[in-house]
Structure 1
Amino acid sequence: MMKKRLERFVCSLFMVVLMAGYGNAGMMTASAAGTAPYKEGELIVKYREGVSEEGKAEGHRRHGSERKKEFRDLNMEQVKIRPGLGVENAVKEFEADDDVEYAEPNYLLKASKIPTDPKFYSTWGMAKINAPAAWDNTTGSAGVVVAVIDSGVDYNHPDLKANMWINQAELNGKPGIDDDGDGVVDDIYGYNGVNNNGNPMDNNGHGTHVAGTIGAVGNNGIGVAGVNWTVKIMACKFLDANGSGYTSDAIECLQYVKKMKSRGVNIVATNNSWGGGGYSRALYDTINSQRDILFITAAGNAAANNDTTPSYPADYNLPNIIAVAATTSTDGLASFSNYGRRTVMVGAPGYSILSTYPNNQYAYLSGTSMATPHVTGLAALIKAKYPTMDWRGIKNLILSGGDRPSSLAAKTVTGRRIDAFGSLTCVDSRVFSALTYPATLQPGVATTLSALSINCSKPAGPVTVSLSTGGVLTMRDDGVYPDLAAGDGIFTGSWTPTGTAETLNFSSPVGAETVTVGK
């Protein structure tokens, strides 16, 4: 019966595509090489534990600065520095302050999209990830929520409206009043970090396109179907009309999501189809503070190797991050897509993807931005089928359930493109890969080794590393430093080399890999 409904849906979609015009988003230019761009006159400052409000205020008096925003549970502030003081000098000045743990620029972040020919009809992505077969298992659940952290979402789009998350207290409350006491007035569909209000309407298009891939309403006879026919999409806007935003606003969106999760909203993942800033410890700390929410992010569109040229936030070494490369309809790695044998986890369709666009439109876009929501959508679909599964099991099913196009063999950790049916019905699908090891060795200086070892949703241990100079290191997945999370399938150990060259033989019950370092 479901297959017959799907056939009727595809037929009606085909008619819509033939008869309707589709927009094409404008291209964004890349920033010049060199220091990552940031906002003039601002910093993000992290204070040391125990610094009082009075101490922070006294610090601002000393530095001639003022607080713009506070991220209280992170002990951070967005700070306006005194006139005439450059950002680089301000960082040095604040980091010399005994009350400050670190200070950094407020980096500029951008949507990771590339526009393409709007006349080419394609819904090939859903077929390539085997979504129709997965839909015979589940088409999603209204009890599962994903947050789109982007340029907002057109929550009135007819193909999205029924799947938007709604803050019932604000919907049924009084206009102009913070009815649920979360600090935001009238946040019915989410939050707007650009304008600091409760209206996350999309004025760029990128976020609406992303949302449609995750959860455009299925089997409704119009437009497209998302990976989930039924899901709830929370919108958080931090990218402006030009597709640009700042680290401080991204942090604010993540904090909003964390707050809603703590209030009982069943948020399984955030979709983060953006990047471009430098390494931000503040953003790292924010993502790390919400381990129970998957952070699914675009690998980047510079055709670069993230192993050697880091792209953030994709390259933060955190266990709840899944970095995504883009693939084509011919099973290739997209020409623009970043990749990384040790850093980019999986691939997903990201070239000429048809999805929702503001003002009741549809558009074709390309980019790792478009690949990422396929993975976020799969996270929600897995949660719909396995409601008690936590972020670790969901992540591992995403990684282990995929197929293996040859184009990804040496380009991602798993060598796989996601497969929704494979993830939902996973049986004895093994993934093993070394993740972390040093490029060079310093005798007597400890270094960290890690490897991914999973079978479907479960960790697969023990994992050992045999050394060519003798000895065996047993890796652990127990959450005790240097291991970052217990039971996530990433096994970690600390090793102190005695020489400048070594062959490391990683092995577990599900696989083995040999790497040579220092030669």
Structure 2
Amino acid sequence: MKKHIFTIFSTLLLSLCNAQDFEKNQLIIKVKNESFNKGKHDLAKNIIGVQSVDRLNNEHLVNKITPIGDVDFTTSFLLEFKNDIDVASIAKIYGEDSKIAFAEPNYIAHGAGVQGNASLSTFPTDTFFSSRQWSLYNTGTFVVSGMTTTPDADVDMELAWDIETGDPNMIIAVADSGINFSHEDFAGRIWNKPTEIIGDGIDNDGNGLIDDYRGWDWVNNDNNPTDDHGHGTNCTGIIGSAANNAKGYAGVNWNSKMMPLKVLDSGNNGTYANMANSLYYAANNGAKIVSMSIGGTAPSAALASAINYLRTNNVLLVACMMNNNNQVSNYPAAYSTAYDNVIAVGSTDANDKRTQPFFWSTTSGSCYGTHINVVAPGNFIYGLGIDSNTSYGSYWGGTSQATPLVAGVASLIFAKNPTLTPAQVRNILQTTAEDMKGIPSEDTPGFDKYHGWGRINAYTALQSTVLSSHEVVNDHFAIRIINPVSNGNLEIYNNRKIKGTTRITVSSFEGKQIFNQTLDLKEGKNSVQMKGIITGSYILNFENKEYQKIFKIIVK
């Protein structure tokens, strides 16, 4: 029976190897938990500490072993062989060892977004938010060759910000090609690890990574996840471009910290081993959400194990459907049917139709299938670039761009009610999505394989009764601003004992400061008189030495 099972496994593995790219001369293995002896491994000497496995490694000339996650928990390793190997055959040999749970190739996945060249003269000269960010606020005036525009084919972001703009204490991880650290629109938004002393050359927290104070680069195995492609900077900016700086674009989330995890190289390719490592890292370092705009067609036990670890740690994974205009499953998105902490995201255009094609290829299109959950705008998405620290002129297209938009909205839902589980947040996004917006043959009532439950709506999601019935008073709700502001009286509720000098600054969306006042904040209700401000929407900056947050307010 065992021989028969492995014959089937080998045939399946060989077919997958032929269909999906993988790293040459590499293998991912997991030692069975009951066979692994903690403390017996010495990876610097290529010793795993399991006799039969070490014998196989010596026999097949393994010259490097890299941990995947915390091996005392994951018992998973990436093996690199000295000589050329037949990956499928070696996987079969390792898989037949009774001490090994699984052995599989280190598959290669790809980022699901492509950059285009901007033509700035075709856009109005007013603010970037109103002229380019149609995905958040679509007035029907967005003009670009190859895509029609329908008013309100957006996620109603300007209305959602009336309710929530993000939790300053939340961490959102982006597993991608890295980030442009020097970009002015990321100022103050990058996560820093409190347990790591910057630049001391010591692994202060004992996780095996030296000076990982701002994320990690698994491609180059160092502590500098700087973007050398552009994909990661665009995706991270969709979630977290700084608000209220009179520059560039508005991110979906105005307050939370962004954790850059580099798993894609300069060619926009990445391995499953690196992807899995980034998921373990995100969960172990406090991330609430991981946005992963990457996909590969091979299933993977290593990747599934990492996703299950996220689930165990109450972390949401938002993943892209990919762009091949077919229903071939891509992973990790396809794991949405097995794990309720995964949201699989497809793309729509500015006319609310499924993207088919994207601007960069006539044969492209948002992938579909029974594992899709929701769709979101993802074509001609302007954002931040890597050309300079003030780069704003590039646009991208792909389910890669729809994915961080959904992740950003999910982060606002968590901010509104941090007691929710990833499965509950996914359900809120699905039940409040706008249905039957695409072409009738695809966007049928209820769930369909092209749009899932529909195009997300941030405003209706944040109005969900699940949220309003669970008002939680804790650190996440330290400060509440009462909207709208009536009769010039701004009401601030301090639910936590934050005290002392607090600066309140109110600006227009164009960045012009129109009100500035300092108050001695007290617990409970605080009132600030803002006479003379005309009716409209504004940005309020709350600054206290203990707590800072940006809000949107409406003055009536």
TM-score for the superposition, normalised by structure 2: 0.67
Question: Which moves more between the two structures, 113-122 or 271-280?
Answer: 113-122
Measure how far apart 1:281 and its partner are.
1.6
- Asked whether 1:157 is paired with 2:141, we answer no
Residue 516 of structure 1 is matched in structure 2 by none
Contact residue 145 and residue 231 of structure 1 kept, 8 A = yes
Partner SS for 1:133? helix
Measure how far apart 1:367 and its partner are.
0.2
CA RMSD of aligned residues (A): 2.3
Separation in structure 2 between the aligned mates of residue 298 and residue 374 of structure 1, nearest angstrom? 11
Contact residue 252 and residue 409 of structure 2 kept, 8 A = yes
Code of the residue aligned with 1:311 in structure 2: it is N
Residue 455 of structure 2 is matched in structure 1 by 417
Cα gap change, 1:205 to 1:413, in 2 (>3 Å): closer
Contact residue 400 and residue 414 of structure 1 kept, 8 A = no
Question: Which moves more between the two structures, 218-227 or 117-126?
Answer: 117-126
Contact residue 151 and residue 237 of structure 1 kept, 8 A = yes
Identity %: 29
Separation in structure 2 between the aligned mates of residue 428 and residue 320 of structure 1, nearest angstrom? 17
Separation in structure 1 between the aligned mates of residue 425 and residue 160 of structure 2, nearest angstrom? 15
- Asked whether 1:334 is paired with 2:355, we answer yes
Residue 33 of structure 2 is matched in structure 1 by 49
Cα gap change, 1:311 to 1:341, in 2 (>3 Å): closer
Partner SS for 1:39? coil
Counting matched residue pairs gives 392
Partner SS for 1:198? coil
Code of the residue aligned with 1:200 in structure 2: it is P
Separation in structure 1 between the aligned mates of residue 281 and residue 412 of structure 2, nearest angstrom? 23
Cα gap change, 1:230 to 1:337, in 2 (>3 Å): farther
1:20-73 CA-partner distances (Å, limit 9, x unpaired): xxxxxxxxxxxx995201111011112223224142323322443344212312
Residue 432 of structure 2 is matched in structure 1 by 401
Cα gap change, 1:84 to 1:241, in 2 (>3 Å): closer
Contact residue 29 and residue 77 of structure 2 kept, 8 A = yes
1:145 to 171, 190, 200: 171
Matches within 5 A, 1:432-443: none
Residue 199 of structure 1 is matched in structure 2 by 224
Residue 344 of structure 1 is matched in structure 2 by 372
Residue 176 of structure 1 is matched in structure 2 by 201
Partner SS for 2:188? helix
Separation in structure 1 between the aligned mates of residue 417 and residue 239 of structure 2, nearest angstrom? 18
Matches within 5 A, 1:55-454: 55=51, 56-71=53-68, 72=71, 73-81=73-81, 83-119=83-119, 121=123, 122-127=132-137, 128-170=154-196, 172-260=197-285, 265=286, 267-291=287-311, 292-305=314-327, 309-316=328-335, 317-335=338-356, 336-340=364-368, 342-358=370-386, 359-360=388-389, 361-362=391-392, 363-407=394-438, 408-409=443-444, 410-412=448-450, 414-427=452-465
Measure how far apart 1:254 and its partner are.
1.3
Contact residue 342 and residue 413 of structure 1 kept, 8 A = no
Measure how far apart 1:175 and its partner are.
2.7
Cα gap change, 1:178 to 1:60, in 2 (>3 Å): same
Separation in structure 2 between the aligned mates of residue 180 and residue 239 of structure 1, nearest angstrom? 25
Separation in structure 2 between the aligned mates of residue 85 and residue 182 of structure 1, nearest angstrom? 31
Residue 477 of structure 2 is matched in structure 1 by none
Partner SS for 1:383? helix
Partner SS for 1:255? helix
Measure how far apart 1:138 and its partner are.
1.3
Rg larger in structure? 2
Contact residue 366 and residue 398 of structure 2 kept, 8 A = no
Measure how far apart 1:188 and its partner are.
2.1
Contiguous gaps of at least 5 residues in structure 1: 1-31, 430-454, 458-519
- In terms of fraction of residues, the more strand-rich structure is 1
Residue 495 of structure 2 is matched in structure 1 by none
Measure how far apart 1:299 and its partner are.
0.4
1:368-398 CA-partner distances (Å, limit 9, x unpaired): 0000000000111111111222222222212
Measure how far apart 1:428 and its partner are.
8.8
Measure how far apart 1:124 and its partner are.
0.2
- Asked whether 1:40 is paired with 2:24, we answer yes
Measure how far apart 1:117 and its partner are.
4.5
Code of the residue aligned with 1:91 in structure 2: it is A
Contact residue 193 and residue 213 of structure 2 kept, 8 A = yes
Measure how far apart 1:178 and its partner are.
2.2
Code of the residue aligned with 2:95 in structure 1: it is E
1:420-460 CA-partner distances (Å, limit 9, x unpaired): 1111002499xxxxxxxxxxxxxxxxxxxxxxxxx999xxx
1:83-106 CA-partner distances (Å, limit 9, x unpaired): 243112111211122222221111
Contiguous gaps of at least 5 residues in structure 2: 1-15, 37-48, 124-131, 138-153, 357-363, 471-556
1:165-193 CA-partner distances (Å, limit 9, x unpaired): 111333x5453222333322221211111
Question: Which moves more between the two structures, 102-111 or 339-348?
Answer: 339-348
Measure how far apart 1:355 and its partner are.
1.0
TM-score for the superposition, normalised by structure 1: 0.71
1:128-166 CA-partner distances (Å, limit 9, x unpaired): 111100111111121111100000111221101211111
Residue 491 of structure 2 is matched in structure 1 by none
Cα gap change, 1:208 to 1:149, in 2 (>3 Å): same
